[in-house]
Amino acid sequence: MKCSGRNAITGEQVVLEFDEVINHVDPLLNPEDAAAWLAPGFVDIQVNGFAGVDYNSPTASHEEIARSIRVLFSPGVTRFFPTVITGPPDGMLGALRNLAVARESLKDGAAMEAFHVEGPHISPEDGPRGAHPARWVRPPDLEEYRRWQEAAGGHVRLVTLSPEWPDATRYIEQLSREGVVTSIGHTRATSQQIRDAVSAGATLSTHLGNGAHSVLPRHPNYIWEQLAEDRLAASFIVDGIHLPDSFLRVALRAKGIERSVLITDAVMPAMCPPGPYTLGEVEVELKEDQRVVLRGGTRLAGSSLRMDRGVEQLMRLAGLSLPEAITMATTNPARVGRLPGRFRALRTGERADLVRFALDHGRIQVLETFLRGERVFKL
């Protein structure tokens, strides 16, 4: 296969030759379409559901999961982490087991790179707990983690927890030894607990600035502590709803683009009509303005963000350049999520996960998406 366009990271006109990996990257001397841009396919390490499919449901049909993956290709996503949140032990195991079978059996199952377990070892307090059901919050348990891995075929690669629990440090140390990324999130941890978690091996903050109390001490507090910790990367939901522009700009300056990751935290109503939906046992509503809230209230319960719109919002709200925004959607999550063959952008030998798009006045229109060298979406 071949495709051409402007490299979204370097600005150079290039032509790529590829099969499952990129075999050649050459200068394009006579550009055929100067309006088309090329980038590595987007990587989203936090997707709870999409296109009407809830990845937390143990009974989600593989046909529907396959359909949701095909929809995910249209905004340029090529790899993602289906995310299972706080729930009953059997329900979480059932969801992981169902996703693992789908990953192995579906034609496009490779797009489900690995799994993210967000909770249940999070803060039980209102505010930092977010929309996670309080009755299923529980302390870290290595035996439960091992049951997750067994159900998931060893594909749990990212776990979000709060280091406020007494055994959190030992838990983080063990997961880190096994190559699992541990992330701080939904927490009310003290500064010392956060420092201890990082020393134990935590490397990420999950959707920093969200999953927090509405009012915090001026200082110290757990948001400042994570912003100041250079050993932590941070993920951000950039939908114009979850974070005010001023916080986003300051947070990106604190972490640096190199330690910042774009996520959607999308839930099943993403790319669906407004209306009522159910996420596991949680009743939510997708509003006309694209907010996903607990039904009858205003508390956010995930997002309806798409990755292409997230890249746009990084440029519009945070003032980032296209290369910076693309980096936050591609090589940074690949590095943080430990995706082999995805660290070096459009380089020979990298996986041929690609997105080709047009950019008009800050608006992205995905033209083609390739997974392992195969075209999986064409406008």
- How do residues 127-154 score in pLDDT, each as one tens digit? 999 999 999 999 999 999 999 999 999 9
pLDDT band at 32 (very low <50, low <70, confident <90, very high): low
* Average pLDDT value for the chain: 96
pLDDT digits (tens, 9 = 90+) for 148-177: 999 999 999 999 999 999 999 999 999 999
pLDDT band at 281 (very low <50, low <70, confident <90, very high): confident
pLDDT digits (tens, 9 = 90+) for 175-196: 999 999 999 999 999 999 999 9
Q: Is the pLDDT of residue 33 over 70?
A: no
Residues contacting residue 77 through CB under 8 Å, at least 6 positions apart: 41, 42, 43, 44, 111, 307, 369
More confident residue, 30 or 64: 64
Q: Is the pLDDT of residue 264 over 70?
A: yes
Choose the catalytic residue: 265, 289, 353, 360: 265
pLDDT band at 280 (very low <50, low <70, confident <90, very high): confident
Give the C-alpha separation, 316 to 221, whole Å.
29
Q: Is the pLDDT of residue 34 over 80?
A: no
Burial of 125 (0-12, 13-18, 19+ CB in 10 A): middle
Q: What mean pLDDT do residues 92-113 have?
A: 98
Residue-wise over 24-43: b if at least 16 C-beta within 10 A, else e? Answer: ebeebeeeeeeebbbbbbbb
Active site residue 308: no
Q: 41-341 adopts what CATH topology?
A: TIM Barrel (3.20.20)
Count other C-beta atoms under 10 Å from residue 113's C-beta. 25
pLDDT at 294: 93
Q: What mean pLDDT do residues 62-71 have?
A: 98
Is the Cβ–Cβ distance between 284 and 257 less than 8 Å? no
- Structure-block tokens of residue 149: 């891995």
